[in-house]
Structure 1
Amino acid sequence: MASGRRARPAFARLIEQYRPQLEAYEGLCEDLGETPSDVALAWLLQNPVVTAPLIGPRTVEQLQQALHATTVTLSDDTMSCLDEIWPGPGGEAPQAYAW
């Protein structure tokens, strides 16, 4: 049974809204032989518009996993695939990304 934010109705609605993207992303990660968190962190590390990803490991194991992500190299094709799965909000930066 879900707990924390996963148990909230609003979170469940978001999961349903983005289910096709989540499934495509998880499939890509499986094809790469990497965890979704490692691919996400590797994408941030390779993305030229990201200055520095912030991580918040709570355990040594989480820190070790995050460190592994620094060894993951994503090909240009994989980076393009990720951009297709997760397109930005559209519009010109930085305005399109402002809250």
Structure 2
Amino acid sequence: MAAGPRAGVRLEARSLGLVSEQCLYNLAERNAEQEVIPAARAYGLAVLPWSPLHGGMLAGVLAAGSSEGKRRHAGRGAHSLLGHADQVRRFEHVCAQHGLAPAEVSLAWLISRPEVTAPVIGPRTVEQLESALRAIRLRLPDSLTKELEEIFPGPGPAPESFAW
């Protein structure tokens, strides 16, 4: 008699069904690019990033009079902003130069990543949902993508990025 409840049972990857990876991934938090994104690419998995606006930090928190800014200066976005204020200021300036809403630019950048199937969004208002839907149709020019990635460069590939 074989040991264990499933002795002799052979599982194949395709019998597991649909598999996805949910990770924190956005312009400001790009650590997933070190190992998670390359692994997803290698295994043919899609990535469903959560917190695509980094707790509201990438939604226009510094814009004068912004309702998002007023709300986020007191929550999780405020904590994240402590370490990213200069980057967020530059980001919002670049978005304004292009006449684009920061939240839409952030989502459009994330959606443009080949491994990203769909970001996990959490709109609180109809306006936020409509903004997210506009981001789906927004195609960022290569020059703007380059600017964004200069502001938020990411950690670089592993294992080199782990080196001291």
- TM-score category by the smaller chain? 0.7 to 0.9
Q: Deviations over 1:26-75 (max 9, x none)?
A: 01110111111000001011122323211111222211111111121101
Residues in 2 aligned to 1:47 and 1:22: alpha-carbon distance in whole angstroms: 21
Bigger radius of gyration among the two:
2
TM-score, structure 1 as length reference: 0.74
- Corresponding residue of 2:134: 68
- Corresponding residue of 1:4: 75
Amino acid in the other structure paired with 1:61: E
Count of paired positions: 89
Amino acid in the other structure paired with 1:46: S
Q: In the alignment, which of 61, 74, 84 is matched to residue 18 of structure 1?
A: 84
CA RMSD across the alignment: 2.2
Question: Between Structure 1 and Structure 2, which shows a larger proportion of helix residues?
Answer: 1
Distance 1:6 1:63, change over 3 A: closer
Alignment of 1:1-99 (within 5 A): 2-5=73-76, 11=79, 14-92=80-158
Amino acid in the other structure paired with 1:17: G
- Corresponding residue of 2:58: none
Residues in 2 aligned to 1:60 and 1:16: alpha-carbon distance in whole angstroms: 29
Identity of aligned residues (%): 44
- Greater Cα offset, 46-55 or 25-34: 46-55
Residues in 1 aligned to 2:99 and 2:86: alpha-carbon distance in whole angstroms: 20
Query: 3-state DSSP class of the match of 2:137?
Result: coil
Consecutive unaligned residues in structure 2, runs of 5 or more: 1-69
Residues in 2 aligned to 1:53 and 1:39: alpha-carbon distance in whole angstroms: 13
Consecutive unaligned residues in structure 1, runs of 5 or more: none
Residues in 2 aligned to 1:5 and 1:52: alpha-carbon distance in whole angstroms: 22
Query: 3-state DSSP class of the match of 2:138?
Result: coil
